[in-house]
Structure 1
Amino acid sequence: MVILGAGLTGLSAAFHGRGTVFEKEKEIAGTCRSVRGEGFTFDLGIHVLHSANPYILNLLLRNNTAGLVNRRRSAWIYSRDTLTKYPFQANTFGLPKKIIQECVSGFADALRRPDRIFDNYEDWIYGVFGKGIAKHFYLPYSEKFWTVKTRELTTNWMDARVPRPRLEQVIAGAASIQKEEFGPNALFRYPKSGGIRRIAGILINKNTKILLGKEAQRIDIAAKKVYFVDGTDISYDNLVSTVPLTVLCRMFNRAPKEVIDAACGLRHNSVLCVNLGVRREDISPHHWIYFPEDKFAPFRVSFPANFAKSMAPKGWSSIQAEISYSRMKPLKYRDVVEKVINDLIRARIIKPKDKVRLINTKDIQYAYVIYDHDRLRNLDIIRAYLRKYNIYSAGRYGRWEYLWMDDAILSGKNVLKEIRARK
């Protein structure tokens, strides 16, 4: 078995089965990599473990070689020059009274029209949360994050990702800061040191064979052979790919036009991470803050040293600002680092006199897959073609699904079941 990609899914496939992993980068972990520099450690965006899956918990915590520790989430939202607790729909206390009234009354109105079928995410937002919550958070934040209009999105990506409070909880969160937490990651685990990359190490055993710096360039589906950029090649019986589907389909030497067109129809966003060090400890008590307003460049700002003290050197804090963009909504800032720093000052996270150091910027080309209305049709075309040639596409970008880390690990495990079922 040949496996393309040494992210969590590729490593999981090798861990649960037998095969050789080929990774184009010089290190493992994919988008779960952790980057070190100048005494700081940054992940590629926020990654926390909040799985309730017994198998995953046993696998990762059995010996706890990643040094996972428990954390109680502190997530907030900055809008109208005010910090409110996450999620917005259950925590409007602190906002102007008129906005609070719009949000609570809109939510109550939405409850009077239950059990509706929604054609798109925008209708779902209005139908479930009402006009006020839609206007003041969900529409602006969602379009900033996804980089497309909310009506272009379906609703089959959400699952537990969007908390749905009861009316009494919405009212309580409008009257005061409530202690009750919402959402699947209210409690999470994170490595004590080394960043989230430590989880990838658990998926490597003595039988795992990984070749780094091996970028696949072309796949001859008839000869069942993968050709690499360095001029080498390898034959396979079964090929497991965690490569983004849009990239994988361009590697085929004779893919039909409908398959190429389907791959071109798949959309995703990208995320630019601006990683900063600030010469002041405890710059914020929170783990992350959402920014729904378009006047701020980031959609989210996080504080890695609050996940684990080891993420920043003594005397310093660390900040990661995430900016979403895509071919539908390109980056619009001439100097994005300067814009981020000015935004952090504007939001009173850092002070004008603070010593701020740019540690690095990291560009995640494939960040989140976009669940538009053509996605399933395009995936059906691509998957039918792959099945003919014993090619198994897995993981977030191989399945083209919004998978969390535990989902990605299970995807690598489950692909082996697919292979066995075909024999």
Structure 2
Amino acid sequence: MENKIIVLGAGIAGISAAYHTKEKYQNVEVTVFEKTNDWGGLCGGFYIPSPQGEFWFDNAVHLSFAPEEYVQKIFHTSSEPIRHIPIPTNYYNGTWLKHPAQNNLYPLSVKEKTLALKDMIDNHNSKENLKNFEEWLRAQYGNYFTENFPMKYTRKYWTVEAKELGTSWVGQRLYTPNLEEILEGAMTNETPNTYYAQEMRYPKEGQYRSFFKSLANQVNIIYNKEAIKIDTYGKNITFSDGSVETYSTLISTLPIPELVQITQDTPQEILESASYLKATSVAIVSLGFNRSDIPKNLWFYIYDEDKFFARVYSPSYKSPANAPKGCSSLQAEIYFSDFKPLETLNSSSKNAQDFFLNHVISSFIDMGICKEKDIICKDFRIIPYGNVIFTHDMEKHRNKVLQYLQSQRILSCGRFGEWNYLWSNQSFLSGKNICDLIK
């Protein structure tokens, strides 16, 4: 049995991998190396000061709906959860609709409902041999709704046209109502909640990452250690501070396109496959308010393309501990990628921070969400990795890269280590399961 295991990255997958490796194998030295000065990774976040006190913002929206009893036990032992019934909403052309919009069209004008319903009922788009996400959407919802709702949102959230995406990632994420549900949702607002999760959970205190803090406290994490070179022949890692560590087995949660770049002697064909792997980045605008009643929902989606943010959620709604007493908060997510650079959205001469802060604030005011005087703190920052983009042939290139890494005794886990659309519970289990591959 190997006796010195290194884990790169102290996010949820890396901490889970380290904890479960220690638990499964005796007399094994397991160390996590984290390039920043804190643990949590994408499940972490940051504080923003204000005259009323500090606000906490997660690195984009995080809520748990883990169905697995084991994951729930770990999460809820670490931190007592607040349980929310998810009732998200949608903003479309000045109108608020319940989510999912396809079976909640009631607030729309009669003319627009008629166009959408006629197309949904008289839908001749084939459901066979679907080649891309656009064909999948048209087959489920007809042309009018598809073109005015999910195709617009796809451009904002995925940063590409729907036809450029495959369909393997869809799963239960998009609801496909029957005709009765569609008609009922067009005639009344009193419809049942058909969101794919019936309960969303968030820690009462300690932010989202506290769901796995009990594990973080039991593993050895060394901070400010950025890996810059991996020698698989000599089994050692060089870090940015010049230090070198040897290993028997390496577990990585780094994004695999970056991982192969720092791995010595990676074949050109593997580097080329890695270059096909694309992900979104997230520019997040975080606002704190001097009133507690600003957020009306846990989160909402925005279809209007003149508003660059795709999704908005409320940290203070998730837990009052995320904001000073009597205050509340919202965070807007703006997605960009190599396919849609952030610069293409910022056509003004202002720097990105000023431009996007002003854009979100003015949009919120226009939407009736808040007034300028309500805002007591604001922040703009970029999260380099948001979501894996499921372009055509992505899985083929991803699998080729992962097979190569495993041949070099590098085990990869987590959202960007597996290069998959993993929720936090799935990333946690990805870290847990990776230790089964240690030989």
TM-score scaled to structure 2, two decimals? 0.91
1:235-265 deviation line (CA, Å, top 9, x unaligned): 1111110000111011012111111111111
3-state SS of 1:17 partner: helix
Q: Where do 1:53-64 residues align within 5 Å? A: 53-61=68-76, 63=77
Cα pair 1:102 1:131 within 8 Å, conserved:
no
3-state SS of 2:142 partner: helix
Q: Which among 412, 421, 437 is matched to residue 402 of structure 1?
A: 421
Report percent identity of matched pairs: 32
What amino acid is aligned across from residue 402 of structure 2 in structure 1? R
The reply on whether 1:181 has 2:193 as its aligned counterpart is yes
Q: Where do 1:208-227 residues align within 5 Å? A: 208-227=219-238
The reply on whether 1:17 has 2:21 as its aligned counterpart is yes
Query: How many Å apart are 1:117 and its aligned residue?
Result: 2.4
Query: How many Å apart are 1:113 and its aligned residue?
Result: 6.1
CA distance in 1, matches of 2:116, 2:437: 47
Q: Which among 120, 128, 135 is matched to residue 140 of structure 2?
A: 128
CA distance in 2, matches of 1:28, 1:260: 29
- Which segments of 5 or more consecutive residues in structure 1 lack a partner in the other structure? none
Q: Where do 1:297-376 residues align within 5 Å? A: 297-331=308-342, 332-333=345-346, 334=350, 335-352=355-372, 354-376=373-395
What amino acid is aligned across from residue 400 of structure 1 in structure 2? W
Cα pair 1:76 1:84 within 8 Å, conserved:
yes
CA distance in 1, matches of 2:197, 2:211: 17
1:88-142 deviation line (CA, Å, top 9, x unaligned): 11111101112212222222233x6675221000000001111122022100001
3-state SS of 2:325 partner: coil
Structure 2 partner of 1:283: 294
Deviating beyond 6 angstroms after TM superposition, the runs of 4 or more aligned structure 1 residues are: none
Q: Which among 168, 173, 179 is matched to residue 161 of structure 1?
A: 173
CA distance in 1, matches of 2:126, 2:134: 16
CA distance in 2, matches of 1:375, 1:139: 20
CA distance in 2, matches of 1:336, 1:358: 15
Q: Which among 116, 119, 132 is matched to residue 106 of structure 1?
A: 119
Aligned length: 415
CA distance in 2, matches of 1:293, 1:16: 44
CA distance in 1, matches of 2:422, 2:340: 23
CA distance in 2, matches of 1:267, 1:150: 15
Q: Which among 367, 378, 385 is matched to residue 397 of structure 2?
A: 378
Cα pair 1:7 1:200 within 8 Å, conserved:
no
Q: Which among 93, 101, 116 is matched to residue 128 of structure 2?
A: 116
Cα pair 2:85 2:200 within 8 Å, conserved:
yes
Cα pair 1:20 1:211 within 8 Å, conserved:
yes
Query: How many Å apart are 1:389 and its aligned residue?
Result: 1.1
Cα pair 1:394 1:411 within 8 Å, conserved:
yes
Cα pair 1:32 1:200 within 8 Å, conserved:
no
How much is the aligned-residue C-alpha RMSD, in angstroms?
Answer: 1.5
CA distance in 2, matches of 1:67, 1:211: 27
Structure 1 partner of 2:406: 387
Cα pair 1:3 1:14 within 8 Å, conserved:
yes
1:325-379 deviation line (CA, Å, top 9, x unaligned): 1121112224110111011111111125x23234322311110000011211211
Structure 2 partner of 1:240: 251
CA distance in 2, matches of 1:249, 1:404: 24
CA distance in 2, matches of 1:37, 1:81: 31
CA distance in 2, matches of 1:293, 1:314: 33
1:5-37 deviation line (CA, Å, top 9, x unaligned): 011000000111132111101000100003122
- Which segments of 5 or more consecutive residues in structure 2 lack a partner in the other structure? 23-29
Cα pair 2:291 2:326 within 8 Å, conserved:
yes
Cα pair 2:411 2:434 within 8 Å, conserved:
yes
1:376-397 deviation line (CA, Å, top 9, x unaligned): 1211221221121111111100
